[in-house]
Structure 1
């Protein structure tokens, strides 16, 4: 069954599966909070903001973050603001747990995006009650977002068709039906849904993915359509299409969709080992969205016939992706890709090139 916008992974109520991330540079504080919560929730701990940022973007993502303010290098207020700017983490509720207890401190924390502010020394019943309350509120917000998305489905479908046509503008020269952008966007959403409880972010991936190669519009035809091997100079020009795409998409002006589309366009040719382009980003320096789309894009490109190559078998394509885990691709995402492969193959059949040509000629 093809996934649709009603697919929600969140449970109806907070439970023992909820993951709490505790961030504090004092091991004793981590120990106290972990012992308090581990009997009821899954718990992860981070002793620095840098480590917390990594965990917040991993999968599964935290359902809630308990965050200290006073930490070396990056304080809690700064980390909170950063998490609230990122589409993949903006909906994770953050509660400050800190010794900074003035009214002014609390105001700064709430303005940074936290949902609550608890001062140390903590009261265990208060911490437990606040966590349960905000997990419940976050869950209700997800359900409300789902209902809103159902009621605006027609508008979203119209927007999605416009986005797909924009994506096809880049694919039109070397992909007869443009079904590549449809398949790889479904593949991308499948993987996104498998690693996050944020259905809005998964759907943004779905909508933004078709624009990953929009920068190819800026590549001259004699290079883009060349069936033989590119020269070094030609390859250098071809490698500019991520920057062209980012320029075409421009500043996001507060749009989560355009922000994510630009992030994907700029980052989907980066490689896990740092040998990709245009910026030679490495590992988790590469945005999660771009890491997802990289696998979806390569899998579909390998299994689809192009003017310069025959289609690979699914077995050969999967083997290639597995061999390049840790080199080209995020190893953890390769595992997710393999888990979602049966659903991807159903999508591949539904939106095959043969069916696409048949629909166009009907």
Structure 2
């Protein structure tokens, strides 16, 4: 660090030499521009060098009794950046010192700049994650206001999906897909599985009983409506948004069945996106155990048996096996986000008045 208006304190130079005349010579040469510290042996040099703050530059004699210059440099875990031969030339010494201090200043500037950039990248990543969360939450909340199911269904199913994904992350069929980032996106995207219901008329969406065949055909369109709503949001941005890719898959394909008898496209087996296959198990299980104003929730054991009976027909067999292995966690999630009497009252009011729940 050179003496400049930005650096009013003189840079500190440590001179290490076992010859007093050499120490005096260097001190007189450097004292006008630098603060000079001196050490006549390696032990003393290490002690001074390890003080806080350390010197900005060390001029180190190699041939010294006891601990020589090479040993001192290893002790400092640094290494030489330049050398000066004896007898010294004052102009050469001053030029080399200035050069090395400039190199040190540049290195420190770049290190500080890199630290700043790393912190800025982390800040931007946190900001992007927050934007993703807010976007998905806003879209999911919009769907929630149109559905007679409670927001707890959304929360339960996203936790079910994460549990299944984490259980399957090392499975040979899924490990290439289920990395940390994808599992996080699955958790974020799962609440959008029924966003297409915003396009279903109230007379069908809020109907407490069974649908007529015509009504069911209209209800089935919620999968395509959901995918298209998310795709439309991307078009408004003028780009594909990676974090919405899984949301589109889940919204469009979570009603597909392993044997090809589902909708909207009748996909079968591995043609169904993994994200949608995970969502299918989570969604059906929760629909079975959840109480509604027009039905009681099914006992856990009965719901589990229906899921297992659908292994290889409705559901991916390996995901069914993961579901069975994770049953205690599913029960914990169901209990944690159980529907309250207040939730049921809002559903009843929405159905009675044929208006969205508040």
TM-score, length of structure 2 as denominator length: 0.54
Distance of 2:123 and 2:292 partners within structure 1 = 37
2:253 is the counterpart of 1:267: yes
CA change 1:311–1:258 in 2 (3 A) is: same
Aligned to 1:352, the other structure's residue is in SS state: coil
| Selected match of 1:347 from 333, 342, 345 | 333
Distance of 1:239 and 1:300 partners within structure 2 = 19
Alignment of 1:262-341 (within 5 A): 262-341=248-327
| Selected match of 2:163 from 172, 190, 193 | 190
Aligned match of 1:242:
223
Aligned to 1:265, the other structure's residue is in SS state: helix
CA change 1:176–1:283 in 2 (3 A) is: closer
Q: CA RMSD in A?
A: 2.6
2:130 is the counterpart of 1:163: no
Distance of 2:207 and 2:294 partners within structure 1 = 8
Structure 1 residue 326 displacement after superposition: 1.0
CA contact (8 A) 1:183 1:351 kept: yes
CA contact (8 A) 2:148 2:206 kept: no
Q: Deviations 1:242-282 (Å, cap 9, x if unpaired)?
A: 11001100165332221110011110000001010000001
Identify the range of structure 1 (186-195 vs 167-176) with the bigger mean alpha-carbon deviation: 167-176
Distance of 2:163 and 2:342 partners within structure 1 = 21
Structure 1 residue 355 displacement after superposition: 8.9
Aligned to 2:211, the other structure's residue is in SS state: coil
Distance of 1:338 and 1:217 partners within structure 2 = 33
CA contact (8 A) 2:254 2:279 kept: yes
CA contact (8 A) 1:303 1:312 kept: yes
Structure 1 residue 154 displacement after superposition: 7.6
2:196 is the counterpart of 1:215: yes
CA change 1:172–1:304 in 2 (3 A) is: farther
Provide the aligned length of Structure 1 versus Structure 2: 212
Structure 1 residue 192 displacement after superposition: 1.1
Unaligned runs of 5+ residues in structure 2 are: 1-120, 170-177, 347-358
CA change 1:270–1:184 in 2 (3 A) is: same
Structure 1 residue 308 displacement after superposition: 3.0
Structure 1 residue 167 displacement after superposition: 1.8
Distance of 2:248 and 2:158 partners within structure 1 = 15
Aligned match of 1:204:
185
Unaligned runs of 5+ residues in structure 1 are: 1-147
- Give 4+ residue runs of structure 1 displaced > 6 Å after superposition: 148-151
CA change 1:334–1:176 in 2 (3 A) is: closer
CA change 1:165–1:178 in 2 (3 A) is: farther
Distance of 1:238 and 1:283 partners within structure 2 = 24
Q: Deviations 1:14-40 (Å, cap 9, x if unpaired)?
A: xxxxxxxxxxxxxxxxxxxxxxxxxxx
